Amino acid sequence: MNKAELVAKLAEKVEISKKQAEDTIEAFTETVTSTLKGGGEVTIAGFGSFSAKRRAGRMGVNPQNPSEKIQIPPVTVPKFKAGKALKDALKGK
């Protein structure tokens, strides 16, 4: 499902306009992004939680020249942990 399909489904389900649904999705993504940038976590009970994780720097191999070692810098990456209700729904319980 892409963003346009999600907007259409949300608009239909909640009985709002597609513009309102799109604005809601934009506000949600902006809020989650800014919260994670600030070092916070977003938890939606039953669905899951979004967080930011710091991945340490490490030595790696240059894929264009496997004999050459390169330093991979530390980076912050997004992480999602599914909640119990979401896991159970996917298991078919």
8 A C-beta contact, residue 51 and residue 36: yes
- For the chain, 93 residues long, the average pLDDT of each consecutive 10-residue run is 96 96 96 95 96 95 93 96 94 75
Amino acid at residue number 5: E
Say if 8 falls within a structural domain.
yes
Q: What's residue 81's pLDDT?
A: 97
Would residue 90 count as lying in a domain? no
Give the CA angle between residues 88, 91, 93 to the nearest 5°: 60
> Other CB atoms closer than 10 Å to residue 48's CB: what's the count?
16
Give the chain's domain count.
Answer: 1
73 lies in which domain range? 3-84
pLDDT of residue 92: 76
CB proximity list for 42: less than 8 A, separation 6 or greater: 31, 32, 35, 36, 49, 50, 51
CATH of the domain at 55: 4.10.520.10
Could you tell me if residue 92 is inside a domain?
no
Closest Cα to residue 47, out of 13, 14, 84, 10? Answer: 84
